[in-house]
Amino acid sequence: MRSLEDVRVLAIEQYGAGPYGSVHLADLGAEVIKIEDPAIGGDVGRYVPPYQEGEDSLFFETFNRNKRSLSLDLANSAGRSVFEDLVRVSDAVYSNPRGDVPDRLRIRYEDLRHLNPQIVCCSLSGFGMTGPRRTEPGYDYILQGLAGWMSLTGEPDAPPAKSGLSLVDFAGGLVAALALMVGLHAARRDGTGTDCDVSLFDLAISMLSYPGTWHLTAGYVPERLSRSAHPSLVPFQNFPTADGWIVIACPKEKFWNRLARALGRPEVATDPRFSSFEQRRINRAELVAELDKIIGTDTTAHWLERLGAAGVPCGPVNDLEEPSPTRRPQHETWW
């Protein structure tokens, strides 16, 4: 489906967060014209190793498929003139430099409305376009630390850890793309464009979600739990099998009862220590120890088949190769 084929977006973006948002618009059919600064060699993502050659890289291709690219210096009059011509015939200007840069580049709604009253100007930055930190760059790793994510991630006795993926960047890009589309909807309805100001820091704080609510309203102090365990639902974590790892999730009482029967231990479901969500949370260590004794006796494949047949939510803990339909030899060229 090319649902957005009637949308044209000028994307002043680079690296990860911004391009991750606009690539989804491009995948849905929007014409995304990526504006790259020739003074710095274009998007820095072009030069990210290890799979990089010349002015291209697999990193860059991942975030910029289906887009068009234009080398344009907005700081000189000729480049600005071309940009303004494009604004006249576009729906949105999407950007992800620091929060103070849209003012400096004159790409906010007030700067462009005389060219196109319906233009939507969406800025994604580390700390937003207003406030004391607007001039600071914001990167995923820094924000995962600043917003408390790292304190929630990793094994109990290990150092704080980031998520295995750049989730602040990715979620920020998606929220910015959503903000752009909301602004575009309103502009087409009302005839007037707007500014959209999306902050990665605000997003990271909001994504603390229920642990943040628990802390603010009940004084909850989070602790890191072994094997990526859920903070309140038990069992809901990784378990070692005879040849690997499996994730088992029991977010409903019916799943816990099914698990007990599938493991050949129906009596544990009615054991007073494990008979409710709260009792299983309180007695987490004892329950996990009981399950370890059973699950460790057979293979991942065995438990996937058995638990799956019983209707217990579960899945293997794969490495990066295992979900792939084909495995490419390490020496094969990527071009």
Asked if 185 is an active-site residue, the reply is: no
Measure Cα distances from 273 to 81, 249, 258, 288, 319 in Å.
Answer: 72, 18, 17, 12, 35
Expressed in angstroms, the distance from the first to the final Cα of the chain is: 28
| Below-70 pLDDT ranges, the chain | 324-335
Kindly list the structural domains of the chain, giving each domain's residue range(s) and its CATH number in brackets, ordered by start. 8-206 (3.40.50.10540), 226-316 (3.30.1540.10)
Q: What share of the chain is helix, strand, coil (3-state, %, to 5)?
A: 45, 15, 40
Which pLDDT value is given to residue 329? 45
How confident is the model at residue 332, as a pLDDT? 45
User: What's the pLDDT score for residue 155?
Assistant: 95
pTM of the model: 0.91
Which of 135, 60, 66, 123 is closest to 93 using CA atoms? 123
DSSP state, 109?
Answer: H
What pLDDT does residue 1 have?
Answer: 72
pLDDT score at 115: 98
Which of 24, 230, 302, 331 is the catalytic position? Answer: 230
- Condensed to tens digits (0 to 9), the pLDDT of residues 166-212 reads 999 999 999 999 999 999 999 999 999 999 999 999 999 999 999 99
pLDDT at 324: 58
